[in-house]
Structures are given as structure tokens and as C-alpha cells.
Structure 1
Amino acid sequence: MSDLLQRYGVFLNVENPDDDARDALRQTVRTGGAVEQMGFHDVWVAEHHNSPFAIGSALTVLLAQIAACTSTIRLGTGASLLALNDPLRVAEDIASLDLLSGGRIEFGVARGGPFPAQYRSAGIASADAARERMHEALALIRRLWTEPQTRFDGRFFHCEDVAVYPRPLQRPVPVWLASLSGDSPRIAAEHGYGLMATPSADLGQVAEQVAAERARRGAFPFAIARFFHCDDDSRRAIEHGVAAVRAYPRLMGVQFPPGRLPPMFAPDAPEAVILANAIIGDPGQCVARAKQLGERLGPHRLLLKPATHDANEARASLARFARAAGLT
């Protein structure tokens, strides 16, 4: 698979296992800057709220810091939780980021994932309501970026003759829906959005959905995040990476609806299931696994989510992969 068909990015979640928020934030920014030098194409940062462990609540602040210490890497919101935020403010923040970064923003949006505490704190009753708010907010933001003045009368958001400044440098800003469920594939097809699969999404189901979408709409932007750990010693990489994936649901406090738990997060998930849905191993194994994804999924962006809380270890792991894949 050529580089034109498969791009490599990094997916960062601001994790604070040692209760040192300042260091967790600074290490995330440092990693975001380092991966540009390694040759990665994109760096995406997740947004989370109400968690002492996942503290990436100020998404645009983090990306602004990364933008300031980079010059070429694409900067993705992975993802902006539109249901929980004021869309006018998001429109202003993302436009400012796009201008300051020289037009490098990738605007990924999501309803908020399996974290009901986020919905409750925002007064949202359910995941379905959050999804509806997300799509409505996105429609409003895209109009605010292009119309001289916007009048909008939706179910959740209302404005009359509002103008937002500044406007983004990119026309248009690339939009990604971090969801393959509900109306997201249809809405993405109607508006030309990209689709993104989360690190825990089952690869078999993802492959089927991507193939079906390509049959319906032809080529379209697609990205998939995968848990990742690369060590020179294969067995050590697997032991560490698999243990990190097993611990992730507890640390993050995920709460999937009945019947929707990803196979890799099942309490008794075999090691083989986790490895089949991740990029874990020595450098050669990781690169081979990435190429297999390319053959199975077709053109896409592969976003590596480090499966370690040690920032130095994460950067070393990413550097091993970058060298083996010929990025540096």
C-alpha cells in the first residue's frame, strides 16, 4: 500500500494516572510536537470532561499549544464534543486555531462516547439526545463559517442575524464524524464528511461498514484509531499493550449500553481478540499489522493511540514504529 493510500497519525488522550495535571498536560503537548519530527502526518487530541483520569477538557487550548511548536503536521480535534459546548464559541475557537496554525485543522466531532456523566453534567438526558445536538450544532457551525449573518432556528440552538469572526483559513475546514452508528454515515455522505472509528471499535464490523459506505458513495475520507504499543521485544510489547487495553475501560469509566460492549473490552476477552483489534508488537510486527489494515480497509488514516501512561515510553514506542515504517 502506498503512502497516498495510508497516512499515519497519532491519537492522544490526556491521561493523568499520577494525579499531576500540569505534567500530564505538558507531556501531551510535548508528544504532539515530537511526532511531527518523527514524520507522522496528523496528531489528534481527545476531549473529555468530569474525569480525574482523562483531563483533556480544554481541547482547543491543547491544540493551540501543539500548533505553536509545530509547522506542518495536521491538527485534529478527536473529537470536539459539540453536544456539551456552545457552537458559537466552538466556531470562533476552531477558526482562530485554523488561522494561527496556517490552515492545519481537521475538525472531528462526536456526541461524547460511552461517558454518561458528561451528558448528565450538561443536562442532556441520553446519548441519542447528545447525537441530535451534535449534528445540529455542526450544521450551525458550518453556516457560521460561511454566511455573512446567520439565522438559525433548530430544536436545540437558536440565533438571529449572528456573525462570527474570525473565519477559518481553510474553505472548507475538513469535518470528521467520530461515529459509524445512527445517521452518521448518511449525514457524512450528504455533506462530504469523513468518518472515524474509535480505538475500541471492532475491526470486523468497521471493515463491513466501510466497504458498504464505499459501495454507496465511492471514495471518502476514513480514519481509524487503534491502541498501540511497540517494543523491540515482541513478548514484552504484547504483555504491556494487552494489559493496558484491559485496564482502559476501568480507568476511563466507560459505560456502554447493553449489548454494545466492544469485544476487546469484555472482561474475559482473549489476548488474540485484543491483538486483532490493535497495533501491538515489535517494530516489524506493528508495521506488518498496519499494512494488513490497509489491505483490509483500503485508503485511510491510521491513528495510533499509545497504550501506556509513561510519556517517554509512548514517544519511544512511536519513534520505533516511525523508523520501521520509513516515516523518518
Structure 2
Amino acid sequence: MGEGRNISRNSDRDERTSSEIPRQTTPRFRIGLSGCAGGLEAISSSGLLALAEKAEALGFDGLWLNEEHFQGSIVEVEGRRCHSPLILASAILARTRRLRVGFSVLLLALHHPVRLAEEIATLDVLSDGRVDFGISRGGNARYLEVYGIEPETVNERFQSTLQFLLGAWQDQKMPFGENGYSIEPKPIQKPHPPIFIGTYSDETAAWAAREGHALICHGITNMTNQRRLMRAFKDAGGDVQQVPFGRFVYVSETDASAREELWPTVLKLSARLKGIGLFNRRGIVSEDELDPEVFYREMVIAGGPESCARRIVELNEELGITYLNALSAFFGFLPLELLDRSLTLLSREVRPRVETALTARTAT
């Protein structure tokens, strides 16, 4: 019977005129900004919201906020300043009308399920459904120690919290002992805000696809590991066009000016990443790739508009990427004036080139 249905369907298709056959449409190309302050963390807290408004005016699709702790103080006079992602998300959503705000990612092990269900739903209601719910297990040893969480419980906490959230956001009561309570409010987006899973594990990437969640790939991960995760996600049935794909991105007028302007930032950032031993974490980046020259070449999309557009189109050709998630502030080491100009060029010069190239590919 299955073969018969296939033959009939193919025959019907062959008999249609060319005008009746649906044409392939170009997937919409999106650009998000990612970091402790949604890729805007090169400036003081008082200036973040104004720059978020500018990001919306420039046409960026989303800001993605990292959950980090113990980042930025009098001890570290340079680099990123990290704020409470939920409070910062509320402020950004209140100052914007179209821009989506996501989390890249919230660490589920550190959150009480009831409180988190209420707060994410509240953000979704107040923003008229502009929240993207990015999450991970949250296995950072320092965070677990401070929060008093046993490392061996992290996986179970992740699964149980996620299952609770999915139930709490439905029109039902949740059981608590002999009682049941409706967790309020309920989110605007149905059945719930989109869920994005952050991971360095093939197994978790495949699980996300099977569960119907999207993957979110952080830009600090090298391309070898990004390809591995994307392959695992796709092979398990995941839609790669929904993946916010992170890369460090800097745009200048020319390739030469980009290197000259960005190089001091690359030196500071690569030294910082080496200093925290990032290369010791499996599935992220190697020590060799934190050499400044290698980092600039392999971990960063940088150059004039034409070169940056070409690099992005190559990601689309290789991996099907249609959502670039730019680590635009370089962990807060990029000076504000350079960040501001790079965002303008990324929106006004790079994006149209990418969209034109993707449209041309679809038409051929």
C-alpha cells in the first residue's frame, strides 16, 4: 500500500503544469547578537538599553543573553560585565517592540522550576510572545559549588525541570503532594516559547532533535565541533535552519582595516580564554586554536562586507545555516565605537549581500 501511494503521488505531480508546481522559497536569513548583554556588553549598563533599541532599528532579529556568574568586577577591569539575564531580558523587551530576546543559555540546574516557569511566562506575556527559551544542563563546577548543587544530580535536575516547565505552561494544574496548582501566567506562545538546547555533546544534540527542540550553537566552539553537533542534530531529524549558529563577527570597511582594528581585541580575548583554561573543556576548542593568528583565522568572521558575506554564505552552503548568531562584542573586549560601527555594517552592508546570494542560489 505504501508503494501504491507513492506512485499515485508521483503521477499526479508529473501531470501538473510547471506553473502549478510550487517553487522553492528562500528561507529568511536572520541575524542575532549573543553575549552576556546580548552582544552589546562593550558599554556600561546605562547604555545597554539604548543600544538594544538601535539593534532593533537596524533590523537584527534577536538578542541572546548568556547566564554567567562571577564575571566582571573591580578585579577584572576589562572584558564583559554580566547581569541577571532574566532582569536584563525584561528591560530590553520593555524598550523594544519587534526584537526577540532569547537565552544562550539559562542553566536549568540553578533555577527553581516554579519560579522559572512563572518568570519566563511573564516575560512572554509582557512582550507579546517574543521570548526564546535557550537552556542547558549547567555543569559549571564553580556555579554548582556556590549554589550547593551536587554535580551528579545535574542531569536529573535538567530533565525534571524541563518536564515540569512543559507541563506548567499548559492549561492544567500541577500536582504538589495532595494538592494541585495552576502555575500562572501561561505564555502567549503555544504550546510554549521555542526551546533551544545548548550542548557540546552529540547525544544531547540528537536528543534535542528527537524531542522537537532546536539546537543553539555557541560561537566559542570551534568549527570542527560545530560541524559534529550540527551533523548529529540533522541526522536525528533536526531542522538546521532553526539553529542560531554562533560565530565571532566583526565588520569594517575593508579586510585590512578589520584586522588592524580588531587585532588588539583578539590578543586580549585569546589570552583571557587561555587563562581560564577553556581548552581543557571537552568539545569546545583546542589550545592551538587560542593562538591569536589561528583564532583570528578559524574562530572569527572578520573583514570588509564582501568577505564577511562570503564567509556566511559558505556556512549556508556547507551546513544549511540561515540564522547567524554573532558574538559581536567579543566578550566585552571590543571598544564601543568599533562595536557600534560593526553592527551598522553587518546590518546595512553584509545582510543584503547574503540575502541576495541565498536568493540567487534558490533560483538556480
Quickly name the TM-score band, shorter chain normalised. Answer: 0.7 to 0.9
How much does 1:35 deviate? Answer: 1.1
> Contact (CA 8 Å) 1:16, 1:55: kept in 2 or not?
no
Aligned residues: 317
Read off the aligned partner of 1:146 and give its amino acid letter.
Q
> Contact (CA 8 Å) 2:205, 2:233: kept in 1 or not?
yes
Partner residue, 1:229 = 250
Change in 2 beyond 3 A, CA 1:143/1:183: farther
Change in 2 beyond 3 A, CA 1:2/1:240: farther
**What SS does structure 1 have at the residue aligned with 2:70?**
coil
How much does 1:63 deviate? Answer: 1.1
Please point out which of 226, 247, 251 is paired with 1:206. Answer: 226
Please point out which of 293, 296, 304 is paired with 1:271. Answer: 293
Read off the aligned partner of 1:227 and give its amino acid letter.
F
Change in 2 beyond 3 A, CA 1:73/1:282: same
Query: Greater Rg, structure 1 or structure 2?
Result: 2
Change in 2 beyond 3 A, CA 1:96/1:309: same
Gaps of 5+ in 1: 153-157
Q: Is 1:37 matched up with 2:57?
A: yes
Partner residue, 2:235 = 215
Read off the aligned partner of 2:169 and give its amino acid letter.
W
- Whole-angstrom CA distance in 1 between matches of 2:131 and 2:234: 25
Change in 2 beyond 3 A, CA 1:273/1:49: closer
Change in 2 beyond 3 A, CA 1:267/1:78: closer
**What SS does structure 2 have at the residue aligned with 1:291?**
helix
**What SS does structure 1 have at the residue aligned with 2:135?**
strand
Change in 2 beyond 3 A, CA 1:280/1:192: same
Aligned residue runs from structure 1 range 291-302, under 5 A:
291-302=313-324
What percent identity do the matched residue pairs reach?
Answer: 24
**What SS does structure 1 have at the residue aligned with 2:44?**
helix
Partner residue, 1:60 = 86
Please point out which of 73, 77, 81 is paired with 2:99. Answer: 73
How much does 1:116 deviate? Answer: 2.9
- Whole-angstrom CA distance in 2 between matches of 1:255 and 1:57: 23
Read off the aligned partner of 1:211 and give its amino acid letter.
R
- Whole-angstrom CA distance in 2 between matches of 1:25 and 1:211: 38
How much does 1:74 deviate? Answer: 1.5
How much does 1:118 deviate? Answer: 1.7
Structure richer in helix, relative to its length:
2
Q: Is 1:176 matched up with 2:196?
A: yes
Read off the aligned partner of 1:80 and give its amino acid letter.
L
Partner residue, 1:142 = 166
Change in 2 beyond 3 A, CA 1:264/1:66: farther
Change in 2 beyond 3 A, CA 1:296/1:130: same
Partner deviation per Cα, 1:52-98 (whole Å, 9 max, x = no partner): 25443411211111112211122111211221121211111111111
Read off the aligned partner of 2:161 and give its amino acid letter.
A
Partner residue, 1:155 = none
Partner residue, 1:195 = 215
Change in 2 beyond 3 A, CA 1:16/1:186: closer
> Contact (CA 8 Å) 2:144, 2:150: kept in 1 or not?
yes
Per mean C-alpha deviation after superposition, the further-off stretch among 182-191 and 318-327 is 182-191
- Whole-angstrom CA distance in 1 between matches of 2:334 and 2:292: 23
- Whole-angstrom CA distance in 2 between matches of 1:227 and 1:159: 51
Per mean C-alpha deviation after superposition, the further-off stretch among 33-42 and 45-54 is 45-54
- Whole-angstrom CA distance in 1 between matches of 2:110 and 2:178: 17
- Whole-angstrom CA distance in 2 between matches of 1:240 and 1:129: 45
